[in-house]
A = this chain, B = another copy of it.
Amino acid sequence: MDPLSDATTGLLPHLLQLRTLLNRGQLYEQAVQDAGVALDRPAMTILVILDAAERPLRVGEIATRMQVVGPHVTRHLNSLGKRAIIKRVPDPEDQRARLVALTPSGQRIVQRYTTVVNGWFTAALAQWPDQDRSDLMRLLARLTGDLTTQFDAVAAGSTPTEGEG
C-alpha cells in the first residue's frame, strides 16, 4: 500500500455517509414544509440549478447538471410549467432548443427553500473556525471538479485508474 492509497482509503465511507445524509427524504420534507412550498425533490433541484445559474438554461444543460437523462427533466418541466413556476422560451440561437427560466413565482419559491436549507448549514457550521469553513468550501469545490473529471473518464471507458500516468 503506497501512502497515496492510505490517504484516500477513508474517503469512500465518508462520501457514502454524506450521500445517505443528503438523500434523506424526511429531511427534504421538513425543508419544503418550513419553506411553505409544495414540490417534489427533483423539481426543486431544477429550481436550485436555474437559480444558481443566474440565466436561462437549456433542457440538456439542466439534465447534465443533474446527472440525469433528458426525459426526466422534461417530465418535471411539464409539471412546473403548468404551475407557472418555470417558463420555456425558444432559444434564439437554435430553433431546436428551448430556454428554461424561473418565473417570479419560481424565484420566490427557490428563495424560500434555499433560505431554510442555508440556515441549517449555517447552524451546523456555526462553531467552526473561519479558516476551516473557507478551506471546506475550497476543497469541496476542487473535489467535485476532480471527481467529475475522473468519473467522466471512467464512464467513457478510458478507466485511468491503474498507473495514472
- Interface residues of A, count at CB 8 A: 70
Quickly give the copy total for this chain: 2
Residues of chain A at the chain B interface (Cβ within 8 Å): 4-5, 7-24, 26-27, 30, 34, 45, 48, 52, 65-68, 114, 116-126, 128, 130, 132-137, 139-144, 146-151, 154-155, 159-162, 164
CB atoms of B139 and A124 under 8 A apart: no
Q: How far is the CA of A24 from the CA of B66 in the complex (A)?
A: 10
Q: How far is the CB of A33 from chain B (nearest CB, A)?
A: 10
Q: How far is the CB of A24 from chain B (nearest CB, A)?
A: 5
Q: A34-B161, A134-B7 are in contact. Are A19 and B14 (CB under 8 A)?
A: no
